[in-house]
Amino acid sequence: MNHDKNHVVIRTIRPGDNVKLASIVRTVLAEFGANHRGTVYYDPTTDRLYEMFLERGSVYFVALVKDQIVGGAGIFPSPGLPTGLAELVKMYLLKEARGIGLGKQLIERCIDFARSAGYTGIYLETMPELKKAMHIYEQFDFYYLNGPLGNTGHFGCQVWMMKNLQESGTHRR
């Protein structure tokens, strides 16, 4: 894949994106050996992302390189989260789309949306297998929590992180 920046597009999800995005989520989890129970690998919403992100206060950004969907990330008001928090969800990129700054662009778009929607913080859940992603989250000032928040049902995630949106400044690069 040619990763010329002129061929990169980030847009919101469309109904026809569901099948490709579900495939990407499951492909990436399997690649890292993180395709176990209690993760989005088995979550039925993974097959209906467009419908899921019709929820008020949510958005899902889809990344395309040369008109091919290569991943995405979203903000969602997950059940049971403390008031003011949203969750960074379904952040996945195919192997060939990594290392070109797309992940950072997606996170920036998600943070900007969360701020504009009035959220005061962003929570996320991940797995130890996804160490590189955790390093990127750290660059955006996400910090580690001792346990989960909310009722996501993703008991397979053993890493929980949080970002305060009320602090001044953006992130370290």
Task: Name the helix (H) or strand (E) containing 73.
Answer: strand 68-76
Q: Count how many residues are written for the chain.
A: 173
Name the most confidently modeled range: 53-67, 124-138, 154-168: 53-67
Q: ∠ CA(106), CA(46), CA(67), 5° rounding?
A: 50
From residue 139, how far is each of 62, 153, 168 by CA, in Å? 21, 27, 15
Reported as a single tens digit per residue, the pLDDT across 50-103 is 999 999 999 999 999 999 999 999 999 999 999 999 999 999 999 999 999 999
Residue 165, pLDDT above cutoff 70: yes
Cα separation, 106 vs 98, whole angstroms: 12
| Confidence at 142, pLDDT banded by 50, 70, 90 | very high
| Confidence at 130, pLDDT banded by 50, 70, 90 | confident
Task: Name the helix (H) or strand (E) containing 24.
Answer: helix 18-31
- pLDDT, position 29: 92
- pLDDT, position 42: 86
When pLDDT is averaged across residues 132-139 and rounded to a whole number, the result is 92
CA dihedral 19, 61, 147, 164 (to 10 degrees): 180
Residue 171, pLDDT above cutoff 80: no
- pLDDT, position 35: 86
Phi, psi of 55, deg, nearest 5: -55, 135
Cα separation, 75 vs 110, whole angstroms: 6
Task: Identify the CA nearest to 138 among candidates 95, 102, 104.
Answer: 104
List the chain domain ranges. 5-164
Contact (Cβ atoms closer than 8 angstroms) between residue 49 and residue 55 = no
Please, is 153 exposed, middle or buried when counting C-beta atoms within 10 Å of its C-beta (0-12, 13-18, 19+)?
A: middle
| Confidence at 1, pLDDT banded by 50, 70, 90 | very low
Reported as a single tens digit per residue, the pLDDT across 2-41 is 445 558 999 999 999 999 999 999 999 999 988 888 788 8
CATH topology of domain 5-164: Aminopeptidase (3.40.630)
Phi-psi region of 43 (alpha: psi -120 to 50; beta: other; left: phi over 0): beta
